[in-house]
Amino acid sequence: MASLPAVSAKSSKLAATGVWLFSRPGFESEAGREWLDQARTLGIQGSVELLADTGLVCWEASARVPVETRAEQYLPIDSLVFVRDVVFELGRVEPLPKQDRVGALITALDARIPERKWGEVAVHVPEGSPDADLTAFARKWTAPLAAALRRHGRLKEKRDRGARRLDLILPDFERLIVGETLPGQRAAFPGGRPRLRLPGSAPSRSTLKLEEAFLTLLNDKERGRWLTPGMTAVDLGASPGGWTFHLVGRGMLVTAVDNGPMNAALMNSGQVDHVRSDGFVWVPERPCDWMVCDIVDKPRRTVDMVGRWFQHGYCRASVFNLKLPMKKRLEEWRLCRQRLEEALAGAAGSFDIRAKQLYHDREEITVMVLPRGAG
């Protein structure tokens, strides 16, 4: 793992300027640039330090700004694609003792941030960390840590998602970065890493990707309205059926378009119609609620196809993957987004474009198009 930025004097003060960005390991540069650009458009200068292959980026504002102000200003987290989650640094415990790490944290909190009570606590190990012991330690540490913080009056008795969350980043056994996230301004899952269970009968792991997309890109109300039994969906590039499996599980009737075979058990559900055809050419006879597409192809070709579906009113909403090239991934996404916006301008109604590099995504990002105000 790359070394962390040197600890400066500011690390011992409360309103630190550091903001920790979480990304997929290998996409730190895209996440950092995306954040820098956004901050710049808001007139806030800063610089980033990329921790190669850790999935962590540290951003430092040039000027000290209170946490709340920064959060309000910078954090339309939903508008960030490569940044999965954002933690505001409050300080560091360094060196972290080998014994009584909890005690060291509480002492630091009492000294630097007296009287704050958090709604919950999350411990993060960099996704790219090769240290399996660290990951195992963090997993075991969280429950006793939460209990001790609660005893010490630093954590609410009951988990409160509507309050600030204490976020602790453990880059290694020697250092603890203490930060927090604010309600409404953070990822749906700590660090943008949901723990989803793969159903035993799922035809492929990809099923988790669509599940995560719905959990991340829709809010509760939208899920209630947009994912209801009896809805119709078209799955382009459906074989062997992971995405179709998820849609079927939500009670939808699915047309699966792929020249490849579909999982036999899934076909027995009676909710799937398999069409062997080219997903870039095939169009439905009747409009459907959802069009989802997991075909690996040139991203521009995919967005152009999606744009046509909306222009012709073939679907009401869509989820699709864009496999980004190795170089210029941020630029390619921006270009694709622009093309999609132009195409959607020629469709009836107005639409939101939401995109994220999900935890279950690899070199790709997941995009959703949803009618605006349709929650």
Asked if 143 and 131 touch (Cβ cutoff 8 Å), the reply is: no
Nearer to ligand SAM, 191 or 203 (CB): 203
Cβ-contact 235, 243 below 8 angstroms? yes
- Whether the upstream peptide bond of residue 95 has omega within 30° of 0, thus cis, is yes
Do residues 367 and 341 touch, judged by C-beta distance below 8 A?
no
Interface with ligand SAM, residue 367, by CB under 6 A = no
* 258 touches ligand SAM by CB under 6 A: yes
CB atoms within 10 A of CB 174: 13
**Nearest residue to 118 (alpha-carbon basis) of 85, 86, 89, 146:** 146
Identify the residue among 204, 269, 271, 311 touching ligand SAM (CB under 6 A): 204
Q: Which is nearer to ligand SAM, 55 or 279 (CB)?
A: 279
Binding region for ligand SAM (CB under 6 A) out of 51-59, 159-167, 276-284, 351-359: 276-284
CB of 254 to ligand SAM, least distance (A): 11
143 binds ligand SAM (CB under 6 A): no
Taking the C-alpha atoms of residue 93 and residue 109, their distance in angstroms, rounded to an integer, is 9
Of 20-28, 166-174, 256-264, 354-362: span binding ligand SAM (CB under 6 A): 256-264
Instruction: Spot the catalytic one: 156, 298, 323, 328.
Output: 323
* Greatest pairwise CA separation for the chain in angstroms: 67
Going residue by residue from 224 to 253, which x/- string records binding to ligand SAM, judged by CB under 6 A?
------------xxxxxxxx----------
List the one residue from 122, 295, 305, 365 that touches ligand SAM (CB under 6 A): 295
CB of residue 366 to ligand SAM, shortest distance in Å: 12
Does 269 interact with ligand SAM (rule: CB under 6 A)? no
What DSSP line would sit under 183-195, residue for residue?
TTSS-SSGGG---
Residue number, nearest CB to ligand SAM: 242
Active site residue 10: no
Q: Give the Cα separation of 118 and 139 in Å (integer).
A: 19
Smallest distance from ligand SAM to CB 255, Å: 12
Q: How far is the CB of 259 from ligand SAM (least distance, A)?
A: 6
Cα–Cα distance, 113 to 109 (Å, whole number): 5
User: Which range of residues in 59-67, 171-179, 204-212, 345-353 is near ligand SAM by CB under 6 A?
Assistant: 204-212
In this complex, which beta carbon is closest to ligand SAM, that of residue 190 or of residue 237?
Answer: 237
Cis before 240? omega within 30: yes
Is residue 273 close enough to count as binding ligand SAM by CB under 6 A? no
Instruction: Tell me the backbone φ, ψ of residue 290, rounded to 5 degrees.
Output: -120, 140
Q: How far is the CB of 238 from ligand SAM (least distance, A)?
A: 6
Residue with tokens 């909710």: 271
Cα gap 238→244, rounded to integer Å: 7
Quick one: the chain helix, strand, coil %, rounded to 5?
35, 25, 45
- Asked if 299 interacts with ligand SAM (CB under 6 A), we say no
Instruction: Decide: is 296 part of the binding site for ligand SAM (CB under 6 A).
Output: yes
CB atoms within 10 A of CB 162: 7
Q: State yes or no: residue 203 binds ligand SAM (CB under 6 A).
A: yes
Question: Is 83 within 8 Å of 22 (Cβ atoms)?
Answer: yes
Our finding on whether 11 is near ligand SAM (CB under 6 A) is: no
User: Using CB under 6 A as the criterion, which residues of the chain lie in contact with ligand SAM when the complex forms?
Assistant: 203-204, 206-207, 236-243, 257-260, 278-280, 294-296
Among all residues, which ones are annotated catalytic? 323
